Amino acid sequence: MSHTKKKKHPEHPPVPQIKKDIKKYRVIAVAIIFFSLFGAGIAFFAADNNYVWLLTGGLIGAICGYFFGRQIVNGLFKN
């Protein structure tokens, strides 16, 4: 009688979560765009069409949107 031995197969490396990562970056990108437009809109009404303040408002809005988007991603995609 022969005894059959089961061969141990090497474990496969984990499949990267590409779709999950793409969703994370899309959420951050949407938040950046929304907040930059929101910041530029506030600057437009506050500074009366001054381009320096529009650019500054958009930049500050984009920075706030990045951090807000990261908070959303941390809340939605907990591992």
Based on the structure, what is the number of domains in the chain? 1
The two structure tokens encoding residue 25:
């970056």
In a domain, 2, yes or no: no
11: left (phi over 0), alpha (psi -120 to 50) or beta: beta
In a domain, 54, yes or no: yes
In a domain, 3, yes or no: no
In a domain, 63, yes or no: yes
pLDDT tens for each residue of 46-56:
988 889 999 99
pTM: 0.70
Write down the pLDDT at residue 63.
97
Write down the pLDDT at residue 22.
79
In a domain, 11, yes or no: no
C-beta separation of 68 from 32 below 8 A: no
pLDDT tens for each residue of 49-75:
889 999 999 999 999 999 999 999 988
Query: To the nearest whole percent, how much of the chain has pLDDT over 90?
Result: 53
In a domain, 13, yes or no: no
In a domain, 42, yes or no: yes
